[in-house]
Amino acid sequence: MLVLVFTFSFDSSLIIPKAYAVNLIVEQNTCKTTLNGFWDVPNNACITPGFAVDSTDSLTIPSGVFLVVNIGGTITNSGTINNNGGIGTGGTINNNSGGIINNNGGGFFDNIGGTITNSGTINNNIGGTFINSGTIDNYCHAALTNNGAFTGNLVVTLCNVTATTTLSSLQNPSTFSQQVTFTATVSPSTATGTIQFQVDGTDFGSPVALSGGTATLVTSSLSVGTHSVTASYGGDSNFAGNTSSALTQTVNKRITVTSITPNPASIVIGKSIQFTATVIDTDIGTTIDPSGHVTFSGGGGGSFSPSSCALLSGACALTYTPSSSGSITITGSYLGDSTHDTSSGTSTVTVLGDGHGHGNDGNDGNEGNSGNHESGDNHEEDKTNVNEKNGHDNS
């Protein structure tokens, strides 16, 4: 019986975990050379002060063979232990995260007053017998499944209260193509593990490792509109996972400025003038040339040809023909596109009447007549001077 082997005693200095090669099978030779154990011939058992199973290793206990962890001894498992025979412990078995212990059909696992800490997986499979007279502590995300016979003390779940996860955005609302930083904060800050950010219910990027209880996501690829963003903490051996409340991130269209320029700035009624519309992206971040159409209005009954123009590299032009004279204000309205907001600009053009220019010709005639009148005055002045000269000579 397994209880007999606990009569053996070991020097505590021998309780040193020892690694070994992949796929170790417990038998008399490996017990002594690799597991630092004592082979109990009558019970066909390896009594060991302890050893370690690395993540890439596995250990198999064949049917009919017993592996006993002595009182005060420790087995640390990060790999796989397959028990087809028997395991008895009065010491400690630490089954780390990723570690697997399989008590297979016909296998016998007896925890006689020892302690099993489980952060990985323990399977009591069909046909297996598991007696727990000691303590089994199941940590967060650990699994202990029983499809065989399990008796004894109940398994204790040692998982701290659920961690709290909150989410914030440094730029909300933001504009299209603007860099946005999301920060997930897990409390308590001693929590380890990763955060998975989600946008509109879909994982966004790879999991981000926590550092000091926080993890950040920086992106400039969110589309225009509103988005539901969450942060899911996966938990660790001490804290259960948690998902933050949804944060609504608003992404607005980019701000634009529209200006229109006439060429020339004044015309005679009945003539045509060209208006050029220029639409620029003035928002923060990398600018993007607006696309779409600009429509024109105003003009006091004049006409535009065509009625609107399509932007190319942020500019377009059309022709305006006025139907009345005076100072006329023209408005160009940018209709926006999928990523740019609407905007408008105005310009004033002077339209001269049909008779403009003939009045100046008349003035020129008047100026000519004035010139002739001055010539007449000069002639009279010259004649007077001559008479005065003749009088002087006669005297």
On whether residue 130 sits in a domain, the answer given is yes
Number of domains present in the structure of the chain: 3
For residue 364, is pLDDT > 60?
no
Residue 28 and residue 86 share a domain: yes
On whether residue 206 sits in a domain, the answer given is yes
Contacts of residue 66, defined as CB under 8 A and 6 or more positions apart, other chains included, come to: 2, 5, 40, 43, 44, 45, 46, 85, 86, 87, 88
pLDDT of residue 355: 60
Of 326, 309, 202, 347, the residue nearest 267 (C-alpha): 326
Q: What φ, ψ does residue 374 adopt, rounded to 5°?
A: -65, -35
**Amino acid identity of 308?**
S
* Structural domain ending residue among the three candidates 118, 141, 158: 158
Residue 31 and residue 138 share a domain: yes
pLDDT of residue 351: 93
On whether residue 194 sits in a domain, the answer given is yes
On whether residue 45 sits in a domain, the answer given is yes
Separation CA 103–CA 83 (nearest Å): 5
For position 219, which CATH number holds?
A: 2.60.40.10
Residue 10 and residue 153 share a domain: yes
On whether residue 377 sits in a domain, the answer given is no
On whether residue 241 sits in a domain, the answer given is yes
| Average pLDDT over every residue of 242-264 | 97
* 8 A C-beta contact, residue 92 and residue 69: yes
On whether residue 380 sits in a domain, the answer given is no
Hey, is 245 helix, strand or coil?
coil
Residue 340 and residue 278 share a domain: yes
Residue 147 and residue 13 share a domain: yes
What confidence tier does 160 reach under pLDDT thresholds 50, 70, 90? Answer: low
pLDDT digits (tens, 9 = 90+) for 175-215: 999 999 999 999 989 899 999 999 999 999 999 999 999 99
Residue 127 and residue 37 share a domain: yes
Q: How far is CA 245 from CA 89, 226, 330, in A?
A: 45, 16, 50
Full domain range(s) for residue 320:
256-352
What confidence tier does 22 reach under pLDDT thresholds 50, 70, 90? Answer: low
Residue 336 and residue 238 share a domain: no
pLDDT of residue 356: 54
* Structural domain ending residue among the three candidates 191, 222, 252: 252
pLDDT of residue 37: 93
Residue 128 and residue 176 share a domain: no
Arithmetic mean of pLDDT over the chain? 86
Residue 273 and residue 341 share a domain: yes
Report the percentage of the chain scoring pLDDT > 90.
72
Q: How far is CA 373 from CA 331, 377, 381, in A?
A: 52, 7, 13
For residue 112, is pLDDT > 80?
yes
Residue 323 and residue 181 share a domain: no
Hey, is 49 helix, strand or coil?
strand
What confidence tier does 374 reach under pLDDT thresholds 50, 70, 90? Answer: very low
pLDDT of residue 219: 97
On whether residue 367 sits in a domain, the answer given is no
Residue 124 and residue 36 share a domain: yes
| Average pLDDT over every residue of 141-155 | 92
pLDDT digits (tens, 9 = 90+) for 316-360: 999 999 999 999 999 999 999 999 999 999 999 999 987 654 433
Q: How many CA atoms lie within 13 A of 128 on its CB side?
A: 25
Residue 202 and residue 142 share a domain: no
Of 273, 278, 296, 292, the residue nearest 351 (C-alpha): 273
> Tokens 């025979």 correspond to what residue?
85
Strands 308-310 and 293-298: antiparallel
* Structural domain ending residue among the three candidates 199, 232, 252: 252
DSSP 114-139: -EEEESSEEEE-TT-EEEESSEEEEE
**Amino acid identity of 94?**
N
| Average pLDDT over every residue of 233-237 | 89
